[in-house]
Amino acid sequence: MFSQLKQQPADPILGLSVKFKADNNSNKIDLGAGIYKDEAGRTPVLASVKAAEQFRTDNETSKAYLGSAGSMLFNEKIQALNLGEHKVIGDNRIRTISTPGGTGALRIAAEFINRCTPGATIWVSNPTWANHQGVFTAAGLNVKTYPYYDYDNKCIDFAGMVEALKEVSKDDAVLLHACCHNPSGMDLSNSQWREIAELSKKIGFMPVVDMAYQGFGQGLDEDAYGLRLMADTVDEMIICSSCSKNFGLYRERIGACSIIGKSAAAADIINSALLPIVRVNYSMPPAHGAAIVETILSSEELTSQWHGELNEMRSRIGGMRRLLVDKLVAKGVTRDFSFITQQNGMFSFLGIDKDQVQRLQDEFSIYIVGSSRISVAAVSYDNVDYLTESIAKVL
């Protein structure tokens, strides 16, 4: 059986990490991995998380299964974090399950869509997170793209996006990034969100909102504007959220899939179809990450501490965006990179070509994916001079 297998290419981002680790250059920089790093290049455990873990250690009394939906308290807290005091919660129209990270939420959402409409089409932005298409096709969905990023003008191609979505069928799903678009960093404005929400209502397609970076853009509530507006506008939608970035719980793999129905009765039916999908995938979700999040969000003191730590991470990324642009100017680069300061979250396209990306790797040990997407969170005061000097040389 195994003799039929053929060698598969390495994941472009994970493969970069392998090359980076094998590189002996003391100046090497990994700008490919999508994880937050502090000024020292570490991905820290938040103090609020450490406190919540200690509480769990002192108070946990069982390792029994939680059930396929996961922790009810976590599900309740994540609904409130995503939606605030939204009417869909008060009307009991939403059902949430804990999932193994945001990727797990996307996979369960995709299988749920396929259960409702076998072989359905889901539309994703061009570009989008590299794993979106793989997750959706593995679940049996067809994937199409709509225009999103204008590479030449370094902005959203909103006109192209709208025209493409006007052709979407009412039986299709459309994936939308709530904030901190991965990989472009370009987010829809509030007025653009309003137009997309009205378009969704008019056509009837299913919005699937991926919120992997809440709090990393403008703030927890600001980053949820589009998601909450969409919930105001349409009767049914799917939310996939992650606690990897904003709580720093990357390896704990905790996320959530929330589905909004037209009524409380419809939501019960949705839940009855959702849980069997979980059962045949991973049966029960892990508990540790959910316990950390629910402990933090159940404590005013820990929530306040977490808000401060989240603000610090967001501010550092914004500061590195400005510093990167200023340093490029100082190194004599005449190309306009000011668009980097207009973006949100961890990512940005530099806009350099593949040969220049390869030169950065071969000559300077700076690792960037071929599209020129960089993780701004990996830029620091210690490496920004070497980085900008290297970029100036390949330009």
Q: Point out the residues that are catalytic.
A: 129, 210, 245
Give the phi and the psi of residue 262 in degrees, each rounded to 5: -70, -25
Task: Answer yes or no: are the C-beta atoms of 94 and 267 closer than 8 Å.
Answer: yes
Q: Could you tell me if 110 and 240 are in contact, meaning their C-beta atoms sit under 8 angstroms apart? A: no
Q: Are 324 and 340 in contact (CB under 8 A)?
A: yes
Q: For the packed helices 190-203 and 225-233, what is the interaxial angle rounded to 10 degrees?
A: 30
Q: Is 386 helix (H, G, I), strand (E, B) or coil?
A: helix
CA–CA separation, 133 vs 314, rounded Å? 28
Joined tokens for residue 155: 């902005």
- Residue 253 backbone class (left: φ over 0; alpha: ψ -120 to 50; beta: rest): left
Residue 152 has which token pair? 């030449």
Q: Is the dihedral of CA 65, 66, 69, 70 positive or negative?
A: negative
How far apart are the C-alpha atoms of 64 and 50, rounded to whole Å? 23
Looking at the DSSP assignment, which residues form a beta bridge with residue 175? 208
Residues 8, 140: Cα–Cα separation, whole Å: 21
In sequence order, the β-bridge partners of residue 29 are 366
Please state, in angstroms and rounded to a whole number, the distance separating the CA atoms of residues 325 and 350.
Answer: 11
How many Cα atoms sit within 13 Å of 14 on the Cβ side?
A: 5
Asked whether 173 and 121 are in contact (CB, 8 A), the reply is yes
* CA gap 114, 110 in Å, rounded: 6
60-86 in b/e form (b: 16+ CB < 10 A) is: eeeeeebebbbbeebbebbbebbbeeb
Distances (CA, A) of 233 to 31, 62, 88, 259, 368: 38, 42, 11, 15, 39
